[in-house]
Amino acid sequence: MIAIGLIEQLSRDTSAAVTYFFCQNANDEINTLESIVKGLILQLVRQQKQLVEPLQRRWDVEKGQFYENINSWRELWDIFLEMLTNCTCQKVYVIVDALDECRGDGMADFLKCLVRTGLQHPSKIKWLLTSRPLYSAEQELLSGSEQVLLSLELNSEHISKSVNTYITSKVGELDRRYYYGMGLRLEIEAELGAKAENTFLWVSLVCKELEGVDPSKIMTTIQNLPPGLHPLYKKALDQIKEGKSAIVKECLRLLKVMMLVYRPLDKAEASSVIDSSQQSSSLNEVIDRCASFFNMRGTNIEFVHQSARDYLDGENGQSTLNLYEDYGQGEIALSCLSYLTDHLEMNPAKLPRPDSTRPLELMQNNSLVVSLDYAVTFWTQHLESASAKQTILIQTVFIEQGKLERFLRTKFLEWLECLSLLNELPHATRALKILSNIVDVRIMHSIHMSII
């Protein structure tokens, strides 16, 4: 919340450029050093079109690819640094939020590059990083001069003012809908302020729960809610467990699936991952019951915050999630494989010719392609993760029952075509390496010969 506020404030300066990136641990597409630098480059180019030249210079027009490999963060950093140097703005603010949620090696070297950039252009380039306590980062960042470490814990009075302002705003929105009156409104603000523990997210989740609550019962509802995020998550999980066992099972399965997927799911993709053939209730109903843990960003299902995922990953969360069934990586891989076997077809985008152009909008608006996206791209990665822990499932269902061989014999080309439509064909190389370690070599050879 503070990072968003700062970005909005700094963006009002027309003489400055503001480039930013928000890391998210639960999404493999935005939790690496490479994705950070790519995102910063993209934001900068959108504001300063002339800064695209370093990218254009490396682009091979005839082959439709870069002359050199620029996938590693180090090559990307050189491009970003050249753009920063060429930027004509008086100030460039670079903001990276939730650095602690970034995975992968090279963080120390990345931070050294960052500090060096600040030292070379002290009056022009200003970095702002937010993170949970990260000792290794503090060591690197505070090694130079003019670096400032601001601990929110040590400046709680400022955070408290911001949270109280947020409470006033959120209660004002509720008041306009439910007509509390000034007296009740002030009571609600005071009660929320006493229990919020300076946490924006707690206020946001509680105000969402207060929607639709009768004004005569609203104070009792707030008083029954525990302070602090983890107690609030526990109460929300306990409420999910109440009701018919079928829908409870479906809610817990969705929570488990969201813990294991490699990126947030589109609603259209969810059926391929959670084995929708066994569902008795609608996906919308299940998502609504899990509203304390999920946000809908457009059609994407996402965790409201990393803390919600952390709670579910903890001892209390895991014991609840495993209450009804063991639904893990192997079951996700099996659900994806079954969905692909049933739904993959030749030319799913209905292109008029094999050499037709494939605009991104066409793929994004094609319901079949969208529903296949996650399963097509990630089913082998779930299979690989399952092969280490669920060997019996892999051997009996995928190998002995022939589900994997049947898919490869009947849907292999359709799978590759769909990857191509999604511009994810490089995933096939990794996928085939995974399969070669799992499937009998004779099966892979016979499939290869049948394709030839």
**Tens of pLDDT, residues 41-52:** 999 999 999 999
**Tens of pLDDT, residues 399-432:** 778 888 889 889 999 999 999 888 888 888 889 8
Amino acid 363: pLDDT: 72
Q: Is the pLDDT of residue 259 over 90?
A: yes
Instruction: Tell how far CA 227 is from the center of its chain.
Output: 27
pLDDT above 90: percentage of residues in the chain: 54
With vertex at residue 294, the alpha carbon angle to CA 311 and CA 27, rounded to the nearest 5 degrees, is 80
Element (H, E) at 183: helix 182-195
Query: Regarding predicted confidence, which is higher, 2 or 235?
Result: 235
Per-residue pLDDT band at 442 (split at 50, 70, 90)? very low
Amino acid 371: pLDDT: 94
Q: Report how far apart, in Å, the C-alpha atoms of 50 and of each of 44, 46, 87, 307 are.
A: 10, 10, 9, 40
Q: List the single range of 20-29, 40-49, 144-153 with lowest mean pLDDT.
A: 144-153
DSSP code at position 216: G
Mean pLDDT, rounded, for 54-71: 78
Amino acid 322: pLDDT: 87
Per-residue pLDDT band at 164 (split at 50, 70, 90)? very high
Query: Regarding predicted confidence, which is higher, 439 or 151?
Result: 151
Dist. CA 431–CA 420, nearest whole Å:
14
The residue behind tokens 């998502």 is 287
pTM, 2 dp: 0.77
Amino acid 382: pLDDT: 93
Amino acid 362: pLDDT: 67
Dist. CA 100–CA 362, nearest whole Å:
36
DSSP code at position 226: P
pLDDT above 70: percentage of residues in the chain: 92
Q: Is the pLDDT of residue 441 over 70?
A: no
- Residues 6 or more apart whose CB falls under 8 angstroms from that of 152 comprise 159
Query: Regarding predicted confidence, which is higher, 230 or 396?
Result: 230
Q: Is the pLDDT of residue 367 over 70?
A: yes
Q: Quote the tokens at residue 384.
A: 């690989």
Element (H, E) at 159: helix 156-178
Give the chain's mean pLDDT.
Answer: 87
Per-residue pLDDT band at 358 (split at 50, 70, 90)? low
With vertex at residue 147, the alpha carbon angle to CA 143 and CA 151, rounded to the nearest 5 degrees, is 105
